Structure 1
Amino acid sequence: MAKHKDIDISEDNEVKQCLQYCHDMGTVVYFDEKNLADHVILDPKWLINALRCLVSDKIDNVIEVSDDWETLTDTGQLTDALISLLFKKEPELNFEENKAHLIEVMKRFDIIVNLKKSTALYMPCMIKSCSFSKFKSSLVTKINHFTKLAGYV
């Protein structure tokens, strides 16, 4: 399409500039970054619908009673299986086929994050907050528990 005589864009750099301009205007979603540069989302509403599958209060009862859902609501950790289940809420939009790229886009927007040196995915908006003292007492309890298991006490 870019090489059409009326458009006459033939250099990769010009294509990237065009895509960046369209991204800035809001007509496409494009990032010239590792893991993202090979994909262009031509319909931003499609991306919004994908995000809505994960960040929504409309969850099927089957999902709500799953272990993966309980893990998400308890710790904020999002499993691959749960992502697939949630994407099935809109099967006609083929989110599952594009799951790897959608996850990278969601990471770019900080909707999903990896913790350091971990492949586990987390949704920061689902991580429960607590006071530092509660966290500290929980950590001390866990350390004492592990120490007892290791036979150091």
Structure 2
Amino acid sequence: VVSHSTVENLNKEGTARIEESEELDLFLRYLHETGTIIYFNIEVLRDNILLDPKWMIDALKLLINAQPNLPINSADSNTESNSPADNNTESSSPAASAAHSAITQKWSDFKEKGILTLELVDAIWTKEKHPDLHKNKEHILMIMERLNVLAKPRSFNEMGEK
């Protein structure tokens, strides 16, 4: 993810400059339409440009393929897992156990009902394992919403009900 201002500055430094900001925007929209970048010229998304659309696909795959550690019985509870929901499960404190249980429930809600919470996203896109995803989380989620991959729940007022 690169900022729009960075693209503008790089354009000014280049040898084949695009002089007008409207032309630069047109060029960015062309690159978006050809699948080279992800760029939307709407207020909430215009400030950041995703240079590699595959990166977005990888981010989505991480969400879809995440699996919490769900031991079949207590003998399996020490089984290693690659799950992002396993953060700090080696700690036997009640707080760590409760946090793990909460993330496991959120994962179950995601799998069964399609409800994706920010807490679950944070558990999957951890700062340690996926710093770029974690850093750009809000922008990535807004792009996924714009692409109709994710949807925010509607309130009763938005549906015209009281």
Q: TM-score, normalised by structure 1?
A: 0.66
Q: How many residues align?
A: 117
* C-alpha distance in structure 2 between counterparts of 1:92 and 1:85, whole Å: 10
AA partner of residue 97 (structure 1): K
* Structure 1 equivalent of residue 123 of structure 2: 85
* Matched residue, 1:10: 19
Shift of 1:90: 8.3
AA of the residue aligned to 2:67 = I
What percentage of aligned pairs have identical amino acids?
30
Aligned to 2:108: 70
Alignment of 1:1-153 (within 5 A): 1-4=10-13, 6-56=15-65, 58-61=66-69, 63=85, 66-88=104-126, 91-92=129-130, 94-117=132-155
C-alpha distance 74-103 of structure 1, shift in aligned 2 (>3 A): same
- Supply the RMSD in Å over aligned alpha carbons: 2.4
Q: Which has the higher mean CA deviation after the structures are superposed, 21-30 or 88-97? A: 88-97
Residue ranges of structure 2 left out of the alignment (5+ in a row) = 1-9, 70-82, 87-100, 157-162
User: Structure 2 CA distance, aligned partners of 1:108 and 1:70?
Assistant: 25
- Shift in Å at residue 5 of structure 1? 5.4
**Amino acid corresponding to residue 73 of structure 1 in structure 2:** K
**Could you tell me how far 1:83 is from its partner in structure 2?**
0.7
Question: Which blocks of at least 5 consecutive residues in structure 1 are unaligned?
Answer: 119-153
Per the alignment, in what secondary structure is the counterpart of residue 49 of structure 2?
Answer: coil
- Rounded to whole Å, the distance in 1 between the matches of 2:35 and 2:139 is 19
Looking at structure 2, the residues matched to 49 and 93 of structure 1 have their Cα atoms a distance apart, in angstroms, of: 14
